[in-house]
Amino acid sequence: MAGVQTFLAFAETVKRGSFAEAARELGLSASAVAKSVGRLEADLGLRLFHRTTRQVTLTSEGHELYERCRRIVDEIEALRDDASGARAEPSGTLRLNAPIVLGRMAIVPALAALVRRYPKIALEVGFSDRYVDLVREGLDAVVRIGHLPDSTLVGRRIGDQTIIVVPPRATSGSAGRRGRRPTSPGTCALRSGTPRRGARDRGSSRSASVPSSACRHRRWS
């Protein structure tokens, strides 16, 4: 049974008047176009062209077929033009999910710039720190912090995030007044405010040193 490409070869040959010109337009060889037209004639049991060494002309059956299929061919060409335009300028709806804090601080400004650059894009953005299933929830992309586990998903690193632990303002201030302001994460202290046994009346607090491993550098993608 004749396919779409066969009818395209036939219609282009009619418009160009020869197999060679039709082949140049379709990016095929002249013999390939001629064979496509020949297969169409064999499938229909009709002679569609009068052939000479330099040109082809339609038979009455060929003219009737061209009139009937011209609208379909025009629709196919319009779809091809639309697809080319879609590749040139992104459009459509992008469904995205991002972490709550990171999303609002870093992702939203980037998305605003994206929409200004490509106004045909519509955004549906959700914020959540939970695991999301892209397929089940109908998402196009997600932004998450950490490493992507082995899966069929495609990940790309888009930035880095440095996480540090710092002392409370009051703790840092009092340490500074005594000349012992922390100079690195390893010298920070977490003060829980829980009095030590026997020191309740003096208002003492429990202290714990924070190792340098509390300062972490993580990737987000």
For 51-72, give one letter per residue: b (16+ CB within 10 A) or e.
eeeeebebeeebeebbeebeee
Q: Are 214 and 185 in contact (CB under 8 A)?
A: yes
Return the bridge partners of 160, or none.
Answer: 219
pTM to 2 decimal places = 0.42
Fold agreement between 4-88 and 92-144: no
* Domain ranges for the chain: 4-88, 92-144, 169-220
Regions in the chain scoring below 50 on pLDDT: 175-176, 189-217
CA dihedral 83, 85, 88, 91 (to 10 degrees): -80
Give the helix ranges, DSSP H, for the chain.
4-16, 19-26, 30-44, 60-88, 100-102, 108-117, 134-137, 169-177
| pLDDT tens column, 1-50 | 567 788 888 988 988 888 888 888 888 898 999 999 999 899 989 899 98
Q: Which CATH code for domain 92-144?
A: 3.40.190.10
The third-level CATH classification (topology) of the domain covering 4-88 is Arc Repressor Mutant, subunit A (1.10.10)
- Residues 6 or more apart whose Cβ sits within 8 Å of residue 137: 97
Distance CA 207, CA 188 (A): 10
CA distances from 219 to 86, 135, 147, 161, 216 (A): 32, 24, 7, 6, 10
Return the bridge partners of 121, or none.
Answer: 92
Which residue from 175, 171, 146, 163 is spatially nearest to 212, judged by alpha carbons? 163
Can you spell out the DSSP letters for 139-154?
A: -SEE--BSPPPSSS--
Q: Coil, strand, or helix at residue 58?
A: strand
Pairing of strands 121-127, 141-142: unpaired
Q: What is the pLDDT of residue 178?
A: 54
Q: What is the pLDDT of residue 95?
A: 93
